[in-house]
Amino acid sequence: MMEWLLVPLAYLTGSVSSAIIVCKMMGLVDPRENGSGNPGATNVMRIGGKKAAAITLAGDALKGLVPVLLGQALGVDSLVLSLIVFAAFLGHLYPVFFGFKGGKGVATSLGVTLGVHWLLGFAVLGTWIVVYKIGKISSLAALVAATLAPVFVWLIVGDVSLLVTFVLISLILLWRHKGNIQRLLAGQES
């Protein structure tokens, strides 16, 4: 029964906005009101540079990784683990502490994949790196990695609950990137 408490805890952990906190601590403008308006690492890089973006990226990944690793350490079953994964991810997208206006979820989804299985995380990250090196477009790399994540889940973990969760995460990531997809199709994505 106690293991179910990890689900709301994961949501609350995911709700901590690294971008907003980093920007406040570094004396930068609010990422929700500047640049793309997205409180994520890419927008923080536009606003404050690589150092601020790296800290934001690490924070966003950690808030996905930590609750999942905690669930793993406590030996929760795959259904509870799947709910922890999804709750941490949704916390980033719709953070209770920041008016339910969150980022797109790429770094947090990487964190949860690393928490589920290190090889899964490296497969997703490796996909992002390869696609980025070829195309030099961060959103394209994120979209390809998100699309392939459920395939990697099935091949590496082979769990139906986690597969369903990662299909949902991938669909949400694609939906959250709909503007990027439109710009990619129009040849206007930077």
Per-residue pLDDT of the chain (190 residues; tens, 9 = 90+): 688 999 999 999 999 999 999 999 999 999 999 988 889 998 999 999 999 999 999 999 999 999 999 999 999 999 999 999 999 999 999 999 988 989 999 999 999 999 999 999 999 999 999 999 999 988 899 999 999 999 999 999 999 999 999 999 999 999 998 988 898 888 887 7
- At residue 65, what are phi and psi to the nearest 5 degrees? -70, -50
Residue 2's pLDDT is 81
Pair of tokens at residue 96 = 């209770």
Integer Cα distance of 75 and 59 in angstroms: 24
The structure tokens listed for 161 are 């609950």
pLDDT score, position 1:
65
For the entire predicted model, the pTM comes to 0.93
Here the tokens at position 13 are 């952990």
Which stretches of 15-77 are DSSP H helices? 18-25, 41-48, 50-73
**20: number of Cβ within 10 Å:** 22
